[in-house]
Chains A and B, each alone.
Chain A
Amino acid sequence: MRERRGKEFYVLAIFFTVFVIFLYGPVSAILILSFQGPNGGLTFPMNGVSIHWFFALFGEQLVGDFKAAFLRSLQLGLVVMVVTIFVSVLTGLAFRKKFFGSTFLFYTTVSSLIVPSILVSLGIGLLYNLMEWEAAWYSSGMGAHLTWTLPFGFLIMIAVFNRFDRSYEEAAKDLGASNWQTIRYVVLPIIAPSLIGVALFGFTLSYDEFARTLMTSGVKNTLPLEIFGMTTNVTTPTLYALGTLTTIFSLVVILTAMGIVFYMQKRRERFGTDAGKGV
């Protein structure tokens, strides 16, 4: 299939490029506009270049307490990430065989993605209300986030184990490894790059989650709620400055995760074993 590129290729390549510009253009615009001069507004043109709005952001008069909100979102994201990895792996291991109720559990988990977020938010809010439990970002909020991150982690693990070559495990068992040793020293290292993927989903989806957080976070805001609050009462590029910071943070997280996966794969190639072929 090494024939010359046809007209179709160029048309589609242009289409794809326009799509990428459409994806990234708007966000790049706010990255640029956050460096607006002190007299600049929310739209182009740039009225000078400054970091005025970043200072304004840390000044705290105009905006809410975004630092505390950031710390909350960060902690929540990390906890949700760890729980998502742990629970997804356990569930993935269980789903390697059929068991009583496996179909029900499968569709319940998938439906967690499909049920509109506002229902999850309202339902958890109502439940806490009626039970007179106190809703908070680290309890009800965390539960709400898990209903969104777990299905992703679960589906990834199902896909991973569907491609998993079980002869590695059988070899380990034949050599006398216990069940736990097989998992710890054979299965987990093989699926490690996929776990980084699950971690990325767990952290970022929680860190950015809005719809399922709104009624479940109690009195203290997570970062997305704080940003949403700002959109109604902040009409300066401070909003963009915060948007820039949190987007850069997300990008660092995403690229770090990808970097780790890349490094793991390189390392496997370098050591020349066939241990990675099962993934």
Chain B
Amino acid sequence: MKRYNPIVLIAQVSPISAILGLFLIVPIATILIVSFWDYSEFMLLPDFVWTNYYDTLSSFVTYKTYLNTFKYTILTWFFTLLIGFPVSYFLCFHVRTLRWQIVLFLICTIPFWTSNIIRMISWIPFLGRNGVFNSMLISLGLTNEPLEFLLFSDFAIVLAFVHLYTLFMVVPIFNSMMRIDRSVLEAAIDAGANGWQVLTNIVIPLCKPGIAIGSIFVVTLVMGDYITVRMMGGGLRASVGVMMWNEISLLLYPPAAANAVVLLVVVLILVSLMMRVVDLKKEL
């Protein structure tokens, strides 16, 4: 193997380094710096104070908000996995021709390339006061009054998250499943394993990396979300993202920055826990 020509190498990696440097690393460093700044009503005052962190971490509201965000995260994670796993399993082991696998897989992924905002708006006709669900419940005689809690509620928020992000669970799990050597499954069956044993002793353990990658996507997307909670919660529900967004709208940048750093640390801890199961480079 020849060694790389260093000039060629530099030419190849400098565009991505420049873009991520300027628009990812420097901005996050900026957040870190500003989180230690002081502020007055109209301006930022460069300084080195811990007050922003103190205010954030000593406030009861912060913990309550984190608790609420964790609630959304765990529920969304649970349901996306509960739906995503059987969907991938069906695609991988029950659809017999490659052509149909591709077609059905694409059907599952097309919504990923359309607008999240539209997909959230599209729940209005279903969950609204006069929406499809309420009319159905009333005509079935299950309730007399339309249920108010359907739209603008925790229920709507988690439903929208599951609707938006199940894809992120399906794709990596499907990828893991497709790598399982079918002869291993046949060997297990020949050795007398029943379907359930094959699932729990072979398929699930071998899907762990896929489940972990899917979970990383779902968890980070929900933890950092502010738009879904705002739209589906009608501005009444709290999450870490919404809390930050409120501070940003009031131009309270240093507290927002401190909040952002705390959020980043929490997310990175969660991701590093999940990464223990995966060697990312082997998954590609």
Q: Tell me the A residues contacting B by CB distance below 8 Å.
A: 1, 8-9, 12-13, 15-16, 19-20, 22-27, 29-30, 33, 41-44, 83, 86-87, 90-91, 93-94, 97, 99, 105-106, 108-120, 122-127, 129-130, 140, 143-144, 146-147, 150, 154-155, 158-159, 162, 179, 200-201, 204-205, 207-208, 210-211, 215, 224, 227-228, 231, 239-240, 243, 246-247, 250-251, 253-254, 258
> What is the interface size of chain B, counting residues whose CB is below 8 A from a CB of the partner?
84
B115→A90 contact, CB < 8 A: no
A-B contact pairs, 27 of them (CB 8 A): A8-B94, A15-B87, A16-B90, A19-B87, A23-B107, A23-B163, A26-B125, A26-B163, A30-B124, A42-B128, A43-B131, A97-B4, A105-B16, A106-B281, A108-B25, A110-B280, A113-B217, A114-B267, A115-B224, A118-B224, A119-B31, A120-B23, A122-B256, A130-B44, A143-B19, A158-B284, A227-B117
Closest chain B residue, CB of each to CB of A203:
B113
The residue that A109 contacts in the complex, of B12, B20, B27, B245, with Cβ under 8 A, is B20
B118→A9 contact, CB < 8 A: no
A126→B125 contact, CB < 8 A: no
- Interface-facing stretch out of B50-58, B59-67, B200-208, B257-265: B257-265
A97→B1 contact, CB < 8 A: yes
Q: What's the minimum C-beta distance from B68 to chain A, rounded to whole angstroms?
A: 16
The residue that A200 contacts in the complex, of B113, B115, B217, with Cβ under 8 A, is B113
B256→A91 contact, CB < 8 A: no
Flag whether B34 is at the interface (Cβ < 8 A): yes
In the assembled complex, the Cα of A27 lies from the Cα of B118 at a distance in Å of: 8
A119→B224 contact, CB < 8 A: yes
Q: Contacts A200-B113, A210-B227 known; A93 to B267 CB distance under 8 Å?
A: no
By a CB distance below 8 angstroms, the chain B residues around A87 are 15-16, 19
Interface of A is mostly: helix
Flag whether B17 is at the interface (Cβ < 8 A): yes
Extra A-B contacts (17), CB below 8 Å, given A43-B124, A210-B227: A1-B186, A29-B122, A29-B125, A93-B12, A105-B17, A109-B20, A115-B220, A116-B263, A119-B27, A123-B26, A123-B28, A126-B257, A162-B284, A201-B113, A224-B115, A243-B115, A258-B106
B34→A126 contact, CB < 8 A: yes
